[in-house]
A and B are shown apart, each in its own frame.
Chain A
Amino acid sequence: MERSFKEEVRSLKLGAGEKFRGEGILAVTKALLQSGVSYVGGYQGAPVSHLLDVMVDAGDLLAELGVHVETCTNEASAAAMLGASINYPLRGAVTWKSIVGTNVAADALSNLASPGVIGGAMIVLGEDYGEGASVIQERSYAYAMKSGIWLIDPRPHLPSIVRAVEQGFELSEASHAPVMLELRIRGCHVTGEFIAKDNRRGTWSGIDKLGAPAPFNYDRLAHPPVTFAQERLKVEERLPAARDYIRSHGMNEMFDGDLAGIGIVTLGGLYNSVLRALERLGLADVFGESRVPIYCLNVAYPLLPDELTRFCAGKDAILVVEEGSPAYIEQQIATELRRADIQTRIHGKGLLPETGEYGSDALIRGLAGFVTQAAPSGVDGEALRARADALLAHRANAAKAIEALPPRPPTFCTGCPERPVFAALKIAQRDIGPAHIAADIGCHAFATFAPFSMGNSILGYGMSLASASAVAPNMERRPVAVMGDGGFWHNGIITGVTSTLFNNGDAVLVVMQNGYTSATGLQYMPSSKQSRTAGLPPISIEGTLRALGVKWLRKVRTYSVGTMVRTLKDALQSGQHGLKVIVADGECQLARQRRVRAEDAARLKSGQRVQRVRYGVDDEVCTGDHACMRLSGCPSLTLKPSSDPLRSDPVASVIDTCVGCGLCGEVAHAAVLCPSFYRTEVTANAGWLEQTRQRLRRRVIAWLGGAMPEARA
């Protein structure tokens, strides 16, 4: 990637006693090194991208520690990497965004969890749930339960997170099972500090290499008949071992309170939110002293029945705080308490919402409802209810004063190479009629928002073409599948392209070749022009498609809207049966600008020729019909009040952030829009020839009675 993580790398190098300051996900990264990992891998995705980004930039440090870093092509390959810990005492960690990444990794995870591990194996999950999430809303918890992988959900507090990582490896080794460490979005980005320890070199690593492979041991294979024994091992040996470790190391926390007749069972990740709600209700102070006893589950799975019954014994009622459905923890607690014949009432879903993130209002309503219902002595129920009502009135009052405001979804950046493709697709469909559009994951999914509002389905990362495979044979017109180069390598090449070719399918595939996995933070991928392994040539998408047997293949520069419109029409209307692939080629503008800006500044400084290109709109020619907006949506193309005293509608305007990508002009041509757009090319440090030509032009035009743009003296 173009961005540098030098600052972050420096904090990875901190030694014992030094103070680490930074975000949660960086603290995890440091904790991995303090735990002596031998390998790290993963697939980028918010909110855990930084873990890998920083590792990739920390080449020298990792070489020193002998840590191997793999930027995997998808989560399945990352999960499979953990296979190294099945046979060898190697600690390793992988990371991805969950739930989606865990879904992709599921096959390997099952096959990892069944034989179990001897080296600590950790999966760092970015739990993309609630506000700011970009994926389907499901809980990773189900995977932990079904596969027998322990799920750590630490308090969102850097020392707790670091301890969770360190203990997680020990837990994994003590119980021979992989562990998941789950951090929510805000938990990944929470800032704080902790006292660092020295980084540790793994017993075996790239420096101290294993001498020989493990002897053949059928028990370590996920293959019958040992899979039956492994199922038993998970429940009868690994689970008790895990519980022993969790109990004896006090991974879960119990906080006493004077209202001993009630209690709250919360996941570690939600602890701070619960505490703040209690504090606002007058049931806790800001330092975490709560009047209601709290059992904080820093390990979400497995539960410890003995700890649980100890906490619940003598309590009239407890409230279980876990987000999302199903309420796995509440269900397990109900079972455990029933078995132990403990009559404590269990509250949870009902008082708290069944779905969605637990924001302040949800928790205040739930906690106040719980305490007033349980009515422990020592709390004035009426006063508490009144207090809660006052807190909850804020949002309701605001809603009365202001109507629902229109949302502001993300959009393509200024100059994005993908925007023109959708402009072309819109124009092509206007001319020849609509097509089924299979959308995908990536920046191009922004085309599902205005002004394009395109896409009939999204089935997962790299899945667009596969998701159209049953649409194509059942529809008159060929479907169009849009896929990024990231999605292509993530799995679209197999699930989409290969499968379509193998089945002689008939569809149009547009591959957005922008050179990076841009939506996740500009990481390199197999077809990137550069990569972190300098010297290796990129793997060509076109070459790969040809090798697979794609016959109809066109590569079109994305900004050439007219050519793209023609190519799309050709692909949609061609009489030839079979897969038609258009490689839409244009470098990610965010990456390009980062590079070009620095280059231009340097050239300007050294007196070399630099050209600034941007677009403009003649406000007296623009009539304010905004047809250009409906084909662009560029953040740099906006509105301003008309300068014409007779006109009231605002007119189009190109603002300073324009990078001169050319889309405005291309769209004006391809869709035959108004003649208000113009392009300016200003050249600094122009050569002698250019300067002379400029002087000549100025003189002749002046003689003709005209003018040119002149710099103000």
Chain B
Amino acid sequence: MSGVARPITLLIAALGGEGGGVLTNWIVRAAERQGLPVQSTSIPGVAQRTGATTYYVEIYPVPAAELNGRMPVLSLSPNAGDIDVLVASELLEAARAVAAGFVTKDRTRVMASTARQLLMPEKMAMGDGRLDGERLAKVVSDHARACWLFDMNSVAQAQGAMANAVMLGTLAALGDLPIPVETFEAAIRDDGKGVEANLRGFQAGLAAGRTPPADAKGEVKRPQAALAATQQLENEIAVAVPEAARAFAIEGVRRLARYQDAAYARRYLDRLGPVCHADAEAGAQGQLARECARHLALRMAYDDVIRVAAAKLDPERFARIAASTRLKPNETVAVYEVLAPGIEEICALLPPWLGRPLMRAAQRHGWLGRVHWAMNLNSTSITGYARLALLAKLKRLRPYGYRFAEEQRAIDGWLADVVAAASRSAALALEVVECARLIKGYGDTHHRGSDSFAAIKDRLIAPALTGRLAPAFATEAILNARVAALADPDGNRLAICLQAIDERRQAA
């Protein structure tokens, strides 16, 4: 039973609602136009709503007319190890097909988009829960006979087309199916829906199947522009800060000069000095200074309504909004800022003698996170703009506010811990620095982060500094605790983790 042609098998892995069904129909139609026996199946069901789904096509490479009335029995489901072409609209879905055994070195050509549609757990993680895209791509190309990867979404978007048309074009270009390019194009025309856009996408896909398009660059970082006020500080950085930490330190002084003033930037550099010294002492090769430069700048430029107001009115921001909304001439635009300042934001600006008791009262009465003023402020209206501009102008009053005092105290405490830890081990100090990552966000998130930070400080950092915990043990414990603190928003995992660390210490 050899010597007889076998069906060509094609598996399409996609997300519901992406047009995988339409792509399948085009392929089936093209095969029909060639007179080839063809069959497709799918399992759309509920998965049409952005869930993972697959479509499966079998094409017999000999025209029905040449089979003397015999017809092949085509399979309804893909067989592991029996797939000629895998088309995937998303990288993880390509990897999923690999895991199911559908991609094999001996025969499978893979054509997949490098674009990721993140899963819920990836998005929900408090830190960075994203799967490693490069690893997924490697898994896919390692298992395939041949692999064609590019960002199909970007190519489609540039053409104002759907990604499925791009996929069809690339499929046609790669030539794994016994169907000429013109027939695929004809299938799009036969379909009669959105023909123009689909043909544009098809042509782009065709080109992308001949020479792989350069991957669109991810969002580029936007460093602070240079400013005269920090020139002197930057010269000092070039001398006093280890090379590894310089870029962050420069970013830090520029940011803080804008955030507050040159004196505040100077204060940043003064604070960084002892850490640079400790770095050298501990032989951390600049790594400690580098991470500290990063976190210190973020902590000193904490988020308050003044900074938010300034950020909202940044002309560059409005330029970005114009681009992302594809604003055309003669179109009017309004931007509404979704704000909900609460009692804390107000206390933050009050002098400490007033802010502190008010915050205590708010905590006692459970007003925090409850008492707030929800507003949609139109920053493109005259009054909305003026209100935000006024808030931004409060910058000069910031250093006299309650929160400023609180933050500086917390920062100094943290830095003292970092330097003290460095005298025990560089690794321990680095872990203490990294704990600053827990403190971010606003409102509830900020509270939870601060609570986690405080718990780690009391239970692990303090005992490590007094020598009750061995540096190596403490280093690992802090790392574990930090990961646990970022694992769930309720702090349950952190509590469990700290408990486990206590038990281990007692056992040891």
From the candidates B98, B124, B437, name the one contacting A451 in the complex (CB within 8 A): B124
Q: Give the distance in Å from the alpha carbon of A132 to the alpha carbon of B312 in the complex.
A: 46
- The winner among B73, B294, B374, B385 for most chain A CB atoms within 10 A is B73
Interface hit among A110-118, A167-175, A303-311, A681-689: A681-689
Q: Give the distance in Å from the alpha carbon of A46 to the alpha carbon of B157 in the complex.
A: 32
B389 touches A679 (CB 8 A): no
Q: Give the distance in Å from the alpha carbon of A539 to the alpha carbon of B305 in the complex.
A: 50
Cβ of A131 within 8 Å of any chain B Cβ, yes or no, is yes
B51 touches A408 (CB 8 A): yes
A600 to chain B, nearest CB (A): 14
* Chain B hits for A641, CB < 8 A: 218-219
* Chain A hits for B81, CB < 8 A: 391, 393-395
* Chain B hits for A644, CB < 8 A: 221-222
| Binary contact readout B91-131 vs A (1 if CB under 8 angstroms, 0 otherwise) | 01101101111011000000000000111111111111011
Cβ of B327 within 8 Å of any chain A Cβ, yes or no, is yes
A700 touches B318 (CB 8 A): no
Cβ of B472 within 8 Å of any chain A Cβ, yes or no, is no
Q: How many residues of A sit at the interface, in one of the four size bands?
A: 35 or more
| Binary contact readout A641-653 vs B (1 if CB under 8 angstroms, 0 otherwise) | 1111111111000
Q: Please provide the chain A residues from 658 to 698 with a CB less than 8 Å away from any CB of chain B in the complex.
A: 664-665, 668-675, 677-684, 686, 690-691, 693-694, 696-697
* Chain A hits for B333, CB < 8 A: 680-683, 694, 708-709
* Chain A hits for B441, CB < 8 A: 623, 625, 627, 674
Cβ of A460 within 8 Å of any chain B Cβ, yes or no, is no
A445 to chain B, nearest CB (A): 9
B71 touches A287 (CB 8 A): yes
Q: Please provide the chain B residues from 278 to 326 with a CB less than 8 Å away from any CB of chain A in the complex.
A: 294, 297-298, 303, 305, 308, 311-313, 315, 317-319, 321-325
| Binary contact readout B152-179 vs A (1 if CB under 8 angstroms, 0 otherwise) | 0000010000000000000000000000
Closest to A620 in B: B311
From the candidates B40, B322, B489, name the one contacting A709 in the complex (CB within 8 A): B322
Q: Give the distance in Å from the alpha carbon of A401 to the alpha carbon of B98 in the complex.
A: 9
B95 touches A405 (CB 8 A): yes
A132 to chain B, nearest CB (A): 3
| Binary contact readout B329-366 vs A (1 if CB under 8 angstroms, 0 otherwise) | 11111111111111000000000000000000000000
| Binary contact readout A166-210 vs B (1 if CB under 8 angstroms, 0 otherwise) | 000000000000000000011101111000000000000000000
A697 touches B101 (CB 8 A): no
A394 touches B47 (CB 8 A): no
Cβ of B328 within 8 Å of any chain A Cβ, yes or no, is yes
From the candidates A282, A397, A678, A708, name the one contacting B1 in the complex (CB within 8 A): A282
Closest to B488 in A: A630
A443 touches B49 (CB 8 A): yes
- With A624-B440, A626-B124 in contact, is A708–B329 under 8 Å at CB? no
B389 to chain A, nearest CB (A): 6
From the candidates B39, B139, B335, name the one contacting A678 in the complex (CB within 8 A): B335
Closest to B29 in A: A21
Q: Give the distance in Å from the alpha carbon of A271 to the alpha carbon of B74 in the complex.
A: 10
A681 touches B46 (CB 8 A): no
| Binary contact readout B431-453 vs A (1 if CB under 8 angstroms, 0 otherwise) | 00000010011111100010000
A544 to chain B, nearest CB (A): 28
Q: Give the distance in Å from the alpha carbon of A710 to the alpha carbon of B318 in the complex.
A: 8
- With A287-B72, A639-B122 in contact, is A704–B340 under 8 Å at CB? no
Cβ of B248 within 8 Å of any chain A Cβ, yes or no, is yes
A192 touches B332 (CB 8 A): no
Interface hit among B200-208, B376-384, B409-417: B376-384
A686 touches B317 (CB 8 A): no
Closest to A647 in B: B298
Q: Give the distance in Å from the alpha carbon of A519 to the alpha carbon of B218 in the complex.
A: 35
B47 touches A186 (CB 8 A): no
* Chain B hits for A623, CB < 8 A: 303, 440-442, 445
A664 touches B338 (CB 8 A): yes
B221 touches A394 (CB 8 A): no
Q: Give the distance in Å from the alpha carbon of A619 to the alpha carbon of B82 in the complex.
A: 45
* Chain B hits for A451, CB < 8 A: 120, 123-124
- With A668-B338, A679-B338 in contact, is A190–B48 under 8 Å at CB? no
- With A625-B449, A627-B441 in contact, is A709–B380 under 8 Å at CB? yes
B303 touches A709 (CB 8 A): no
A132 touches B100 (CB 8 A): no
- With A394-B101, A650-B130, A706-B389 in contact, is A402–B321 under 8 Å at CB? no
Q: Give the distance in Å from the alpha carbon of A391 to the alpha carbon of B80 in the complex.
A: 8
* Chain A hits for B219, CB < 8 A: 619, 640-643
Q: Give the distance in Å from the alpha carbon of A395 to the alpha carbon of B248 in the complex.
A: 47
B46 touches A189 (CB 8 A): no
B389 touches A683 (CB 8 A): no
A450 touches B124 (CB 8 A): yes
B99 touches A672 (CB 8 A): no
B329 touches A649 (CB 8 A): no
Q: Give the distance in Å from the alpha carbon of A185 to the alpha carbon of B48 in the complex.
A: 14
Cβ of A475 within 8 Å of any chain B Cβ, yes or no, is no
* Chain B hits for A680, CB < 8 A: 321, 325, 333-336
* Chain A hits for B119, CB < 8 A: 406, 408
B292 to chain A, nearest CB (A): 12
- With A398-B103, A626-B124 in contact, is A713–B44 under 8 Å at CB? no
* Chain B hits for A635, CB < 8 A: 50, 117
* Chain A hits for B74, CB < 8 A: 272
Q: Please provide the chain B residues from 52 to 75 with a CB less than 8 Å away from any CB of chain A in the complex.
A: 52-53, 60, 70-75
Cβ of B32 within 8 Å of any chain A Cβ, yes or no, is yes
Interface hit among A79-87, A409-417, A488-496, A573-581: A409-417
Q: Give the distance in Å from the alpha carbon of A459 to the alpha carbon of B463 in the complex.
A: 53
Cβ of B493 within 8 Å of any chain A Cβ, yes or no, is no
- The winner among A409, A562, A670 for most chain B CB atoms within 10 A is A409
Cβ of B501 within 8 Å of any chain A Cβ, yes or no, is no
Closest to A408 in B: B52
Q: Please provide the chain A residues from 439 to 489 with a CB less than 8 Å away from any CB of chain B in the complex.
A: 443, 446, 449-451
Cβ of A379 within 8 Å of any chain B Cβ, yes or no, is no
Q: Give the distance in Å from the alpha carbon of A401 to the alpha carbon of B136 in the complex.
A: 11
Cβ of B505 within 8 Å of any chain A Cβ, yes or no, is no
Cβ of B372 within 8 Å of any chain A Cβ, yes or no, is yes
Q: Give the distance in Å from the alpha carbon of A396 to the alpha carbon of B130 in the complex.
A: 26
* Chain B hits for A361, CB < 8 A: 80, 101
Q: Give the distance in Å from the alpha carbon of A277 to the alpha carbon of B82 in the complex.
A: 11
Residues of A near any B CB (own CB < 8 A): 21, 46-47, 128, 131-134, 156-157, 185-187, 189-192, 271-273, 275-277, 279-280, 282, 284-289, 359-361, 391-399, 401-402, 404-413, 443, 446, 449-451, 519, 562, 612, 614, 616, 618-621, 623-627, 629-630, 633, 635, 637-650, 656, 664-665, 668-675, 677-684, 686, 690-691, 693-694, 696-697, 700-701, 704-713
Query: What are 30 of the A-B contact pairs (CB < 8 Å)?
Result: A128-B45, A132-B44, A186-B43, A189-B43, A286-B73, A289-B1, A407-B52, A410-B46, A450-B121, A451-B123, A625-B126, A627-B445, A629-B123, A633-B120, A635-B50, A642-B219, A642-B221, A645-B222, A645-B248, A646-B248, A648-B128, A649-B127, A668-B340, A673-B445, A674-B445, A675-B337, A680-B325, A691-B330, A706-B315, A710-B327
14 new A-B pairs (CB below 8 Å) besides A410-B16, A450-B120, A697-B385?
A46-B45, A272-B73, A402-B99, A409-B51, A411-B120, A625-B441, A643-B221, A645-B248, A650-B128, A675-B341, A678-B312, A680-B334, A683-B331, A709-B325
